[in-house]
Structure 1
Amino acid sequence: MNAERLLQHYEQIADAPDAITRLRRFILDLAVRGKLVPQDFEDEPASELLKRIAEEKARLLKAGEIRTPKPLGAVVDAPFSIPSNWSWSQIAEIGIISPRNDAPDALETSFVPMPLIAAEYGVANRHEVRTWGEIKKGYTHFAEGDVGLAKITPCFENGKSTVFRNLTGGIGSGTTELHVVRPLLVVADYILLFWKSPHFIETGIPKMTGTAGQKRVPTDYFANSPFPLAPLAEQHRIVAKVDELMALCDNLEAARTERETKRDRLAAASLARLNSPDPETFRDDARFVLDALQALTARPDQIKQLRQTILNLAVRGKLVSQDPADEPAEELLELITAERDALVRRKEIRREAPLEPVTARDCPHAIPSSWAWSRVGDAVLFTQYGSSQKSHASQNGVPVLTMGNIQDGSVIWGNEKRIPESSDDLPALYLKTSDLLYNRTNSAELVGKTGIYRGQNDVRTFASYLIRLRPSLLHSSPVYLNVAMNAPSFRETQIVPLIKKQTGQANVSGSALKNMLIPIPPLAEQHRIVAKFDELMAHCDQLETSLTIADETRRRLLDALLAEALAPVNAEALQEAAE
C-alpha cells in the first residue's frame, strides 16, 4: 500500500504547521478510495450488498414502515477510481432519508442542538434529555444509529456530522439544520467518515445554495451524490483502521504538544532570566541562550520574543561590556546641549523651556555607572510635528510619509500621496538621513512606534500625526536612539502609562515624548551596542529564514508523500494483492 511510506517518514514531517490535520484528512481520503486496507476478494461484492439493501427496502415498504422512495438515477460521473469489488451508489439508495419517529409524548428522549455535534472524527455527539412531546414538532428526527450531516455554513465546511448514539429512549430530535439517513445493512461509521472526507466537503461547498452566512447543502447533493460503497466486511475493516490511525494521530498530537510545551517553557524561562538579569549568573544565562538558540526557537513567535529580549538587553547595558576609557554619557549630553544652543543662536531652531532634571526616583531600571538617564528632548537636537497639509494621490509633488510607513523600527517607502513642492511646510519639514519618526496617534497597541529614516535628504516629508526627532550626528548614534525607543522596557515604562484615547484612537503628545526617559550610554558604547545588535538581529533573520525553509521542506515532503499515497495502484500490484 502506497500509504506506508507516509507513516515511515512521519517524524520528518511531524513539525510541519498543519501536518497532523492534513494526516487526518489524508486518512479519510484513503479510506473512501479503497486505499486504506487491502481488498479481500473473498468478500461479498458491493453489488450484491446493494441487492440485499433493495430487498430490505421492499420489505419495509410492504410492511408500511417507510414511504415509497423517489426513483433514483444512475451514477454517471464517478469522481475517482475505486476497487473492482466496490460499487458507486447514493445515500438515498443505501438508507432511509429523513426518517420519522413515533413514540409516546411522555417518553424521555434526546435533544441534540448543533453545538453538541462535533466536527472531529471519533468524537461522539452529546445530548439533552427531554420528553418526546416537547421536541417531536419543529425539529429533525433521528434514532440510535442514524447518521446526521450539518447542512448549513460554516458547520458543513467544518465537518460537523455524527452517528447518533447513546440516545435516551433510543430516539431523539435536534437542530433543523441537519440531513439524516438511517442506514440499511451499511456500517454507519463508514458513511460518517465519507461525509468527513475532504472529497465530500470540498465537492459540496460549491453546490451550497442561499445567501452568505445562510448557505446550505441541498438535499440532492446529500442524497444523490456519488457514494463509494465498499463490501460490508471491508467497511468494518476500514472503520477499524481509521479508528486505529486516528488514535495514532491523537498520540502524535499529544506528543507534539508536550514537546512544544517543554520547549516553550524552557525558552520563556531562559528569556525571563535575561529580561530580569541576575548580575551573578547573567553571563552564563546569556551564553546558554545564545548557544541554544536553534533548539529554543521553533516558531516565528519565539523569534519575535528573542528580538524583544535583545532590545531590552541593549538598553540595560547587558549586550556589550563597558569600557572605563569611554567618555561618560553625562559629558556627551552636555555636548548635545551645546550643539542645540548653537542652533538656537543661529536661529535654525527656537529656544524651548528647559525640561525637568532627571532624579534617581524617576529612573525606570538600573544602568551602568558610565551611562546616564536623559529626557528624550535633551537627548536630541529638536522635535517637530509633521505637515498638516492634506495630501493626495499624485505622480507629482513631495511624498508624505504616514504611520503605515513605520514598520519594525524602520521607515519604508510606498506611499503614493503627495503635497505640492510649493507647500508652506517646505523646506522646513523635509526629512534628512537618520531622522527618527515617532507615531503619536494610532491604535493603542501601535501608538509610539518609532522608525529611522535612511532615505535621501530633502526628498520626503511626513504627516502631522508623526513627530520628527533630529539626533546629533556628532554626539549620538541615531541607530542606538531608535533601538532604545523600540525596546519593550521603553514602551512599558514611558509610552503605555501616557496613552490618552481620543475618538477610538490613542495619542501620546509631543510634549509627553520630550519628557520620556531614555538610557544614554557613552558614544563609543552606543556604536558597540549597534554593531552587536545588528549581528544578533542578522542571526535572528537567519533563524527565521531557516524555520521558513524547514517548514516549506516539511510541507513539500508531506505533499509528495500524500500525492504518492493517493496515486493509483498499478494492475500488477492489485493482482499480487488478490493472490
Structure 2
Amino acid sequence: MAVEKLIVDHIDTWTTARQTRSTAGRGSSGKIDLYGIKKLRELILELAVRGKLVPQDPNDEPASVLLRGMKKQQEVLIKDKKIKKPKKLPPIDEILESISIPQGWELCYLNDIGDWGAGATPNRTNSGYYGGNIPWFKSGELSEDYITDSEEHITALALKECSLRDNQPGDVLIAMYGATIGKTSILNTRSTSNQAVCACTPFDGLSNQYLLTFLKASKRVFTSMGAGGAQPNISKEKIVATQFALPPLKEQLRIVEKVEQLMSLCDQLEQHSLTSLDAHQQLVETLLATLTDSQNADELAENWARISEHFDTLFTTEASIDALKQTILQLAVMGKMVPQDPNDEPASELLKRIAQEKAQLVKDGKMKKQKPLPPISDEEIPFVTPNHWEWVRFGEIGEIKGGGTPSKNNSAFWEGDIPWVSPKDMKVDYISKSELSISQDAVQNSSVTLISEESLLFVVRGMILAHT
C-alpha cells in the first residue's frame, strides 16, 4: 500500500487522535498533542529506514561499494592522524542473519559510516574561553533540522585547549543527555558543542539528510538505551555501536525527498487540525459566554437549551469540557445556578454574625486582631450580584494563615503522624492524608501552623498557583 494512500484512506484516524500535553502552550489548542499525526510521522520515518517508502532500483550502485569506499576513507583519515581509530565491534555477519534488509542495502554500524565525537565544556572560570565567535551548542538547542547559531559562543583559544570537537558545516549532531536524548540537527556552520552532544562527519557516500532521517527514526531506541539511571543519558560508544542499514546513495536521496514530501503533508494536516480546534474552542467559549451574560434565570434557561441541543458536538475536547466546567463554577458564584429564595436570611446578617464570632475569638486570644480592610470600590466589582448577596474581602469571612516548613535537618520534626500538606498533595477536593507527616515537636518549635478541619487550602506559589 502506498504511503499516500495509507494517509488518505485513514485521514480521520490520523487527524482526530489526540492527547493532552503535560504543560499548556499558547492558544486554546496549546495543550493538545495531535497524537495521530505524531504517530504518522513516526511511521513515515520507520518505513523510510526499512526501505519501504520508495521502490528499489536495480540500476543503483549497491551499498556494498559505498561501504568499501567508506572503509578506505576511514583508513586514510586514521593513517593521516585526522581521526582516531574506532574500537572494534562484533562482526556484523553474526547479526545479519536475524535482520532483513532490502536488496542492494548493507548492514553495518554507525561506526562505519562516519567519524563521531562528543563535545566538552570549557572551564567557566577562564574568561578567555567565552565570548568569541564560534557557536557552542547544547543539547536543548537541537530543535530544528538545520541549526546555524547558538546561545553561547566560545573563542578559538577554547577550541584549541579544551578537547572540543571542531564540527564542520554538514555535520550531524545528536543529543545524548536527559529529556533531549535523540534530538538531532544538521549544522549550517562551523561550530562545537558541549559533552551532551555527539557529532558525526559522514563519510563519502552517505547523505547527511538520510543520516538525520535514520537518527530521527531511532529516537525511541536511543531513549530506551538511556533509561534506568538517575540522569538518563547515552554515550558516543552506544551510538556508534548501533546497527545501520545503508541504502545505495541514489536511493538515500529518493528516500529523503519522499520523507520531505510526506512530512510537508503532515504539516498541512497538523495546521488544519489545529485551526479546526481553535475555531471549535472559540465557538464553545462564545456560546458559554451567553450563559454567564444571561440577565435572569429565564434567559439562562433559554441560552442553555440552545447549547444543549448540540452538546455532543460542542463538548468533544478536553479544552471544551474544561471551559464548560469553568462556566458552571462561574454561574454558581454569580448566583445564576439556583433560584434565590426571598425567605433566606440576607448575607448582611450572616456577615454581622461572622464579625461577632471573630471579635470573640480575638477577645479569647484564639485569633490575632486583623488590620481593617479597605471598602470594596465599584471598579473592583466584576459583576452584579443577586439581591441579598454582599461583596466582601476574603479577610472578612475567615482567618487567613500561612504555612511553614520545619527544618529538614531535624529528623525529629519528620517522625510524627500530623499530615503536612504541600501543593503536590492537593490533587483532590478533600484531603485526609499527605505524603509527609510531622511531629508535635515541629508544630511547637518551627514555623508551621496547625490548621483546623474543614479549612480551605490555597496554593500561592509555584507551578500550580491558585490550586485549592
TM-score by length of 1: 0.53
1:153 aligns with 2:184: no
Residue among 207, 218, 230 paired with 1:198: 218
Per the alignment, residue 543 of structure 1 pairs with: none
How far the C-alpha of 1:155 sits from its partner, in A, is 7.5
Q: 1 CA distance for matches of 2:464 and 2:116?
A: 55
1:81 aligns with 2:81: no
- Counterparts in 2 of 1:401 and 1:8: CA distance versus 1, 3 Å: same
Per the alignment, residue 369 of structure 1 pairs with: 387
Give the gaps of 5 or more residues in structure 2: 20-34, 119-131, 361-365, 402-411, 441-449
Per the alignment, residue 208 of structure 2 pairs with: 188
For residues 108-147 of structure 1, give each alpha carbon's deviation from its aligned partner in whole angstroms, at most 9, with x where no partner exists.
Answer: x9844316996456x322148x999678635422444x43
Contact 1:89 1:229 in 2 (8 A): yes
- Secondary structure class of the residue paired with 1:137: helix
- Secondary structure class of the residue paired with 1:437: coil
Map 1:1-16 → 2, pairs under 5 A: 1=1, 5=6, 8-14=9-15, 15-16=17-18
Residue among 314, 335, 343 paired with 2:332: 314
Q: 2 CA distance for matches of 1:391 and 1:151?
A: 43
Map 1:23-422 → 2, pairs under 5 A: 23-54=40-71, 69=85, 72-73=88-89, 74-75=91-92, 76-77=94-95, 80-97=99-116, 111-114=134-137, 119=142, 123-127=145-149, 137-138=160-161, 139-144=164-169, 146-154=170-178, 157-162=181-186, 164-165=187-188, 167=189, 172-176=190-194, 177-198=197-218, 201-202=221-222, 205-206=225-226, 212=231, 215=233, 217-218=235-236, 220-277=237-294, 285-321=303-339, 327-330=343-346, 364=381, 365-369=383-387, 410-414=429-433
Point out the structure with max Rg over C-alpha: 1
- Secondary structure class of the residue paired with 2:455: strand
Q: 1 CA distance for matches of 2:83 and 2:419?
A: 74
Contact 1:439 1:448 in 2 (8 A): no
Contact 1:118 1:160 in 2 (8 A): no
Letter of the 2:346 partner, please give it.
E
- Secondary structure class of the residue paired with 1:141: coil
Q: 1 CA distance for matches of 2:217 and 2:176?
A: 17
Q: 1 CA distance for matches of 2:51 and 2:177?
A: 29
Contact 1:43 1:233 in 2 (8 A): yes
Contact 1:149 1:156 in 2 (8 A): no
Q: 2 CA distance for matches of 1:330 and 1:34?
A: 77
Per the alignment, residue 407 of structure 2 pairs with: none
Superposition RMSD on alpha carbons, in Å? 5.7
- Counterparts in 2 of 1:226 and 1:240: CA distance versus 1, 3 Å: same
Contact 1:157 1:201 in 2 (8 A): no
- Counterparts in 2 of 1:269 and 1:51: CA distance versus 1, 3 Å: same
How far the C-alpha of 1:150 sits from its partner, in A, is 3.3
Q: 2 CA distance for matches of 1:131 and 1:330?
A: 71
Letter of the 1:313 partner, please give it.
L
- Secondary structure class of the residue paired with 1:81: coil
- Counterparts in 2 of 1:175 and 1:405: CA distance versus 1, 3 Å: closer
- Secondary structure class of the residue paired with 1:439: coil
Contact 1:118 1:124 in 2 (8 A): no
Letter of the 2:166 partner, please give it.
H
Q: 2 CA distance for matches of 1:207 and 1:217?
A: 12
How far the C-alpha of 1:228 sits from its partner, in A, is 0.8
Percent of aligned pairs sharing the same letter: 22
Letter of the 2:172 partner, please give it.
G
Contact 1:205 1:217 in 2 (8 A): no
Q: 2 CA distance for matches of 1:116 and 1:378?
A: 52
Letter of the 1:307 partner, please give it.
K
Map 1:369-518 → 2, pairs under 5 A: 369=387, 410-414=429-433, 436-439=454-457
Q: 2 CA distance for matches of 1:204 and 1:446?
A: 30
Q: 2 CA distance for matches of 1:409 and 1:131?
A: 50
Contact 2:136 2:192 in 1 (8 A): yes
Q: 2 CA distance for matches of 1:66 and 1:447?
A: 55
- Secondary structure class of the residue paired with 1:366: coil
Which shows bigger deviation, 283-292 or 6-15?
283-292
Letter of the 2:105 partner, please give it.
W
How far the C-alpha of 1:157 sits from its partner, in A, is 0.5
Per the alignment, residue 445 of structure 2 pairs with: none
How far the C-alpha of 1:158 sits from its partner, in A, is 4.5
- Counterparts in 2 of 1:30 and 1:376: CA distance versus 1, 3 Å: closer
Q: 2 CA distance for matches of 1:259 and 1:12?
A: 15
Q: 2 CA distance for matches of 1:70 and 1:314?
A: 70
Q: 2 CA distance for matches of 1:227 and 1:267?
A: 49
Give the gaps of 5 or more residues in structure 1: 100-108, 345-349, 421-428, 451-579
- Secondary structure class of the residue paired with 2:147: coil
Q: 2 CA distance for matches of 1:271 and 1:448?
A: 23
Contact 1:30 1:36 in 2 (8 A): yes
Q: 1 CA distance for matches of 2:154 and 2:459?
A: 59
Q: 2 CA distance for matches of 1:132 and 1:373?
A: 63
Letter of the 1:183 partner, please give it.
F
